[in-house]
Structure 1
Amino acid sequence: MSMSNKDKILSSITHATLCDDCLSNSANVKPRQTVYSICRSLSKASIIKRYEGICEHCHKSKIINQFLNEVKTSGEKLDSLRSVKLNSENTPWYWEGNVQSKVVRYLVLNGYTIHSVADTISRSSGKDIIASKSGSEL
């Protein structure tokens, strides 16, 4: 099953705060104007925040996109949003979901495209992270 462009974008910014250019590369959504359009609609829906800041990948001052921790999706199912639990006060840093989130963030910041992330909360079986870069799957 292929992820939608919206889900690819949400998956990428769940792990890093990125400008549209870096988000286009990370999420593998082309052209960049598609990222702009999707991010504007996500911002209007209060799912992400867009503001002037420093991109975590290119380190340039641009309009960046940040995932909001408390998302109200009006019942919309977004698998990519629940696939990785962000660090919370109730879990220790070494909890598998927190470690997995840091690894995915590192991969995103280093140009990998994230295809899937296992749901650590439900203890799903299979590969924890599937990512690729330059056609090579990790």
Structure 2
Amino acid sequence: MTNIDRIIETLGAAPGALCDDCISRIANVSPRQQVNALAGRLSHAKRIFRQYGLLCCDCGRIKIGNTLFEKLSGGTPASLATPSNGFQPIQPPQTAASIVIPQAAVVSPPTPTASLAQLSRNEPHIAHGVAATPRPLLPSSLVEGRPWHWEGNVQILLGQYLDREGWHIQRFADTESKEAGIDLEAVRNGRHVLFEVKGFPTTVYDHGANRGQAKITSPSSQARQWYSHAMLKMLMLLEQHPDKEIALCFPDFMTYRRLIHGTRTSLHALKVSVYLVTESGEVFAALGGLYRV
């Protein structure tokens, strides 16, 4: 029996939704990240319904939940529709998952991009008879020695999710070297999105002469500064790229949720989307409800 078979069997026997941790324990699939990766594939293939904000029927916690699509008759049952943090739960997707970023402008279809196989080798490809620029190599794992909410790792989680959902990554900035410019650029089906990504601060310095020493500024206070930096960068991107869609991305911390909520009217008016990334690699829209990207 494969790990996918174990996950399907476990979900089939469960009376409700199960989180990744409980699936890993009950189905004996380890590490837990393996459950996350396989559940993402099963969700994309429409074999399971996967959503943040579901009540796990085993541990009783509100987390990212999973259930079989065949159990969803006539929409999300009440047992799965448990709201979290005041957000409205989403409905099961009826079509292939796609980013629901408000259209900033009508843009012409992009030049055909490389296949995933070519992307993985970082090779050039031919578009309309002309050799295209080699695509950036998307990291396959998080940077060791850094927390998952470090900006570079948040960017990797976002890029990996977009890649799984069929988006082609045209630019992936090197956060470690503090490369300036657009953090992540992705295209799909005529959509062209520029992402500004931020992390969440740690309690100690992670580089420089003070590395390992405790910071004077609290993480939540520093996160507010980083949020303001992201807002400024967003305004500059809107000015510089009026024909592109602009999106912000943050790790899922309550500080950022509050800041997003407090600026939601302005962000809606500017047609800028904001997304949250969880430690397990799920990506959700943060404006108007937790709608699956």
Structure number with bigger Rg: 2
TM-score by length of 2: 0.23
More helix as a share of residues: 1
Higher relative contact order (CA 8 A, sep 6+): 1
